[in-house]
Structure 1
Amino acid sequence: MTDPVLSVRGLVIDFTGRPGRRALVQDVDFDVSRGQSVALIGESGCGKTLTSLAVLGLLPPRMRVSAGSITLGGVDVLSAGERTLRGLRGRTIGAIFQEPMSSLNPTMTVGDQIGESRRMHLGESRRTARARAVELLDRVGIPNAATRARAYPHEMSGGMQQRVMIAAAIACEPAVVLADEPTTALDATVQADILTLLEDLRRDLGLGVLLVTHDLGVVADFCADVVVMYAGHVVERASAKKLFHAPRHPYTEALLRAVPQAGHARTTLNVIPGRVPAGGALPTGCRFRPRCSYAEPCCAEPQLGAVNDDAHFTFCDRVAAGELVLGSRS
């Protein structure tokens, strides 16, 4: 593995002016290198999107990074000024969001929107940027690219809009692309096409991809490494092969059990009881304890146990102590 383009260490995100409240995101670590695909997974409310917004330097005004570091292309994101951050966005890191219609400018043609990034970061002329935009639209599989470049977002389908978002994200040949639920609003066939496109771009362009999702099927098809988050904390981190075959944390196991299994008709779908706690109402001890079928009284105490062997990290006192060993999945 090459040196990481994106490195996050000990990331802590909390509310400004709220001393004493437990952090919304705490002690998050992961790396993304060129050509590597990494997934951030977990239920809604687990801190995935907050983490990705911190990487982009776009946290909401009432939230702040209070500890840790984020390094992107050798630049310290947390100490960088707004001008430096604007230079990183688009040039070093591209972003693909889950609702393209709310991200694309309805008053600009898609060709101009794609070309705008190249004009800003690369200093290209309007004509050159437009020509490159047509090439990019063709690269992401949009037919009649020269004609489509003159269209407005509302004149395109959801799948086409998402392809435009991808073209805009890779317009300046960034080292890494952050994809936040890029297939959520699309039907299954279009989802498969978008994932195939992203995989082709990762392989052909050497892109690093940070995929933020709750869809484990997408992760299994696309990602090599997985970071599992629960209530703002990383509970497990491993290769996709290891994690899907032999999860070590009870939350990861519960997520995998909740995935419908093909060929098992008329079976009851497993669910995780309860819901992810709100940021201001986190339980003491293990944050997953109220929903965990393996919880013991010791889980209400501060959790200190983390095990990281064979490139497989797990944060659970009972696993660290050898008291809890989850079985392999067939």
Structure 2
Amino acid sequence: MTATASPIDSDAALGTPLLSVEGLTIDLPGHPGQRGLVEDVSFDLHRKRSLALIGESGCGKSLTSMAILGLLPPGLPVRAGSVRFDGVDLLDCDERDLRRVRGGPVGIVFQEPMSSLNPTMTVGDQIAEARRIHLGERKATALRAAEALLDRVGIPNARQRIRSYPHELSGGMQQRVMIAAAIACDPKLVIADEPTTALDVTIQAEILELLRDLRRDLDLAVLLVTHDLGVVADFCDDVVVMYAGHVVERTSVRGLFYEPRHPYSSALLAAVPQAGQPRTRLTVIPGRVPPAGRFPAGCRFQPRCEHALPDQCARPQPEAELSGGHRTRCGRVAAGAVTLKGVPRG
């Protein structure tokens, strides 16, 4: 696993972010002393770039991505923050305005296409529906565009496949249909939530290659939600590491792999099996992500952290900016008291 993405560019060089999330906080109902199921999440995604939200299951990645488009489950209110897309705060939009954004300028690829695709509609009709709603096309015109989109995402015999139902397609082909639907209306941003989950390794590689080609050809920005660090190294420019609802590190992909600045990030890298090292014991992170409502005070990772000091880590950990735009939520690392290991170079 080698990080090949370029170092993070300055905000000035990249211009105004296409997507800017600031201080996003989602309440946890029924736990007045534990507000902040997701708390103070901030990051920027610039045009034509890809950014990964990473962390273990239960860290708030999918909640964050769903909050961007107002798709949170009932009873999970956004208490604070802003989500500005192309200059518009989506948190101030009503449902009617959000429907104009979803599937239009922002495409979505969910992690389980069989659960997301409508089993009663052909895949052609489902792709065409987005163009009919957002572009006002007639059905015949939209179906011709759907056929071209299926061909664009690598589905053979697209003319016949537009009349197929989801259950008639393999998992990899279903995911390609989801991607075709996501790009149907020429979006500026695609949010992909675990797009390669449950696919075999060969199909995963094909889907990532497809997303890479589409990103280049269509000038897309991609927000990728994943727990697969190999995917991050291969596909993304920048990365946001989340743990128990907090952003603990923000940096370029190269910065994460070679110079992690939070103990959780370093522990994630250490837990990845390394090629060329057979018969070695796999490193694990002790314990588990705390459940919602039972977050520890201060640094939420401290009960699992080998570098934790109770008197320091039990206090709130503000985000600190280091060199090159690298940000960490670890006071000990920011003060230079802890040195972390990344992936060996070479």
The two structures have a TM-score, normalised by structure 1, of 0.98
| Structure 1 counterpart of 2:180, from 167, 189, 198 | 167
Report the Cα distance in structure 1 between the residues aligned to 2:76 and 2:323, rounded to whole angstroms.
34
Identity of aligned residues (%): 67
SS at match of 1:217: helix
| 1:287 partner amino acid | R
SS of corresponding position for 2:234: helix
- State the 1:64 CA deviation: 1.0
Residue 201 (structure 1) aligned with residue 214 (structure 2): yes
The answer for the alignment partner of 2:124 in structure 1 is 111
The CA deviation at 1:319 is 1.3
- Aligned partners of 2:76 and 2:322: how far apart in 1? 30
SS at match of 1:83: helix
Structure 2 counterpart of 1:300: 314
Q: Is the contact made by 1:23 and 1:279 (CA closer than 8 Å) also made in structure 2?
A: no
Q: What is the Cα deviation at residue 264 of structure 1?
A: 0.7
Distance 1:165 1:319, change over 3 A: same
Mapped pair 1:156 → 2:169: yes
| Other-structure match for 1:258 | 271
What SS does structure 2 have at the residue aligned with 1:234? strand
Quick check: 94-103 or 25-34, which moved more?
25-34
Contact 2:25 2:39 in 1 (8 A): yes
Report the AA paired with residue 312 of structure 1.
Answer: H
SS state at 1:242 partner: helix
Superposition TM-score, scaled by structure 2 size: 0.93
List structure 1 runs of 4+ shifted beyond 4 angstroms.
Answer: none
Contact 2:269 2:342 in 1 (8 A): no
Residue 73 of structure 1: aligned partner: 86
Match for 1:64 among 77, 89, 95? 77
Q: How is 1:103-142 mapped onto 2 (pairs within 5 angstroms)?
A: 103-142=116-155
Task: Confirm whether residue 31 of structure 1 aligns to residue 8 of structure 2.
Answer: no
Task: Output the CA distance in 2 between the equivalents of 1:176 and 1:304.
Answer: 30
Matched residues in 2 for 1:180 and 1:34: separation? Answer: 19
What is the CA-CA distance between 1:188 and the residue it aligns to?
0.1
| 8 Å CA contact 1:181, 1:213 repeated in 2 | yes
Structure 1 spans left out of the alignment, 5+ residues: none
Equivalent residue for 1:184?
Answer: 197
Gap runs ≥5 in structure 2: 1-13
- Give the whole-Å Cα distance in 1 for the aligned partners of 2:209 and 2:178: 15
The correspondence for 2:262, drawn from 249, 256, 259, is 249
Output the aligned Cα RMSD.
1.1
CA distance in 1, matches of 2:59, 2:242: 6
Alpha-carbon deviation of 1:304? 3.2
Given candidates 231, 242, 252, the residue that maps to 1:239 is 252
Counterpart secondary structure, 1:50 = helix
CA distance in 2 between counterparts of 1:25 and 1:309 reads 26
> Which residue among 283, 299, 313 is the counterpart of 1:270?
283
Residue 295 of structure 2 is aligned to residue 282 of structure 1: yes
1:46-100, CA deviations, whole angstroms, 9 ceiling, x for partnerless residues?
0000000100111111111111100122221111110000000011111001100
The amino acid across from 2:103 in the alignment is: G
| Structure 1 counterpart of 2:22, one-letter code | R
Query: Residue 83 of structure 1 aligns with which residue?
Result: 96
